[in-house]
Amino acid sequence: MVKGPLSFFEEIIVRRYISIALTVLALSLFFDTGDLSASPGLKPSGPVSMRNDHPLYLFYLNMSPDTAATLEDRKFKVGIDYSASNTMAKGGGPGQDYDILIDTEVQSLELNIKYGLSDRIEVEAAAPYLAINKGYLDSFISEFEKAFFSAPADVRKDREKHEYGYSVKYKNRYLINTSDASSGLGDIVLSSKFKIVDGRGLNGPALSVKASVKLPTGDKGDFLGSGKFDYGIGFLADKKLLEKLYGYLNINAVLIDKPNALSDLDIESVIYLGVIAFEYMFTDRLSMVTQLVGSTSPYPDDSNTDIMSNEVLGVNVGFNYAFSDNVIWDMSFYENAMQASSADFSLKTGMRRGF
């Protein structure tokens, strides 16, 4: 296949993502009334809030890593995040039940709004705008793998950079087969969190329970969602471990409904997700988060493909910087530790503004 440039439409989408994100960041700083010369006293930010944007996991509710802390009564927090997740994976082939190709990049621009109904109850709405296309990270990832692993992964050697392909073939029938980029609103997620134990008075962990529902707002024809509702419940724990070190634990269970596109497959009805994270406060303004994230795979164990049979496991490294009491900027990176079942590499940046 001859490599070609991004289409005009795709370029407009990518540029629009970046320009909107930068505009919001600038406006957040401009309208902030906090004293930038004063020490903002950055509070722990919690785990890196990044989903698994592997195309085969866009169908399901993916409860983002979160902290047990809740907003104070009648407080708002508005955030906007941009992420790009690059996946290159092949599995199965001619003569086998499965023949899968995923050569994509998923770009997401997400608006997140949180509100404190009381000091213990927080509600949240997250609305992502997604684009699935050939992207712009292929060259960077190939050079990164050359630098740290001597050569790019074998699957990347067989494909030209900046190609796009997304197909799932099962028993000689295509369940998914597209070479056209798509974009649109993804599945909106509504959540509610209740803080069970504050933790401060007892010098113990803070504990919360969180419930989420995924609304079928993503276009299932463009594979931006399943067209079904999903439901999740999670238990969150935070603990101050040392003077500047904090630990976080998330354990989630998600009840999913099989997407129509994959109706021929034997898909599990529950996905289990877990997060363990540590945050170190370098200064009053700067902190660093490292975390391990994982989930079970809902796909058949006997597929003989890493894409479906492998569980999800990956590592995040992120940084938070406080421009003021109410404006926090973050940037993070993700690398998969288990081949093909999550994005090979993701980057994310965002801004949060408290009111």
Model confidence at 28, pLDDT cuts 50, 70, 90, reads very low
Q: Give the whole-angstrom CA distance, residue 109 versus residue 112.
A: 10
Q: Are 268 and 298 a contacting pair, CB within 8 Å?
A: yes
Q: What is the pLDDT of residues 241-299, one digit of tens each?
A: 998 999 999 999 999 999 999 999 999 999 999 999 999 999 989 999 999 999 999 99
- Return the pLDDT at 148: 62
**Tokens (6 digits) for 56:** 């085969």
pLDDT digits (tens, 9 = 90+) for 61-100: 999 999 999 999 999 999 999 999 999 999 998 889 999 9
Q: Which of 45-59, 143-157, 165-179, 250-264 has the lowest mean pLDDT?
A: 143-157
Which amino acid is located at 18 in the chain?
I
Q: Give how far the C-alpha of residue 103 lies from the chain's centroid of Cα atoms, to the nearest Å.
A: 18
Q: What is the pLDDT of residue 30?
A: 42
| Four-point Cα dihedral 217, 111, 224, 50, nearest 10 | -130
Pair 229, 213: CB distance under 8 Å:
yes
39: confidence class by pLDDT, cuts 50, 70, 90? very low
Separation between Cα atoms, residue 293 and residue 332, nearest integer Å: 14
pLDDT of residue 204: 76
Tell me the C-alpha distance between 160 and 227, whole Å.
Answer: 33
pLDDT at 3: 37
- CA neighbor of 300 nearest in space, from 312, 290, 308: 308
pLDDT at 142 over 80: no
For tokens 């021929």, what's the residue? Answer: 264
- Encode pLDDT of 191-246 as tens digits: 999 999 987 655 679 999 999 999 999 999 999 999 999 999 999 999 999 989 99
In angstroms, rounded to a whole number, what is the distance separating the alpha carbons of residues 245 and 292? 16
The token pair that represents 208 in the structure block = 């919360």
pLDDT at residue number 191: 98
- Token pair belonging to 229: 């509702």
Residue 347 predicted with pLDDT over 70: yes
Please compute the mean of the pLDDT values over residues 344-349 and round it to a whole number. 94
Helix/strand/coil (H/E/C) assignment for every residue in 12-25:
HHHHHHHHHHHHHH
% of the chain with per-residue pLDDT over 90: 71
Eight-class DSSP state of 148: H
In CATH terms, the fold of domain 8-35+44-354 is Porin (2.40.160)
Q: Please, which residues bridge with residue 129 across strands?
A: 109, 185
Kind and range of the H or E run holding 280: strand 270-281
Q: Which of 344, 52, 5, 53 is CA-nearest to residue 164?
A: 5
31 Cβ contact list (under 8 Å, min separation 6): none
Tell me, what's the pLDDT at 353? 94
pLDDT confidence of residue 354: 92
Q: How far apart are CA 320 and CA 80, in angstroms?
A: 14
Rounded to whole angstroms, the Cα distance separating 335 from 313 reads 9
Residue 302 sits at the vertex; the CA angle it makes with 169 and 145, to the nearest 5 degrees, is: 70
Q: At residue 5, what is the residue type?
A: P
Helix extents (H) in 108-213: 138-149, 154-157
| Residue 153, pLDDT score | 59
12 pLDDT higher than 50: no
Q: What is the DSSP letter of 75?
A: -
Place of tokens 């292929």: 138
- What is the number of residues in the chain? 355
For position 19, what pLDDT does the model report?
52
Greater model confidence, 188 or 157: 188
Query: Which pLDDT does position 35 carry in this prediction?
Result: 39
**Which bin fits 186, alpha (ψ -120 to 50), beta or left (φ > 0)?**
beta
What pLDDT, on a 0 to 100 scale, did the predictor assign at position 44? 87
Give the pLDDT confidence score for residue 330 in this predicted structure: 96
The whole-chain average pLDDT of the chain stands at 86
Give the confidence band of 29 by pLDDT, cuts at 50, 70, 90.
very low
- What local confidence, expressed as pLDDT, does residue 352 receive? 94
Distance between CA atoms of residues 55 and 343, nearest Å:
9
Q: What is the pLDDT of residue 198?
A: 87
- What per-residue confidence (pLDDT) applies to 48? 94
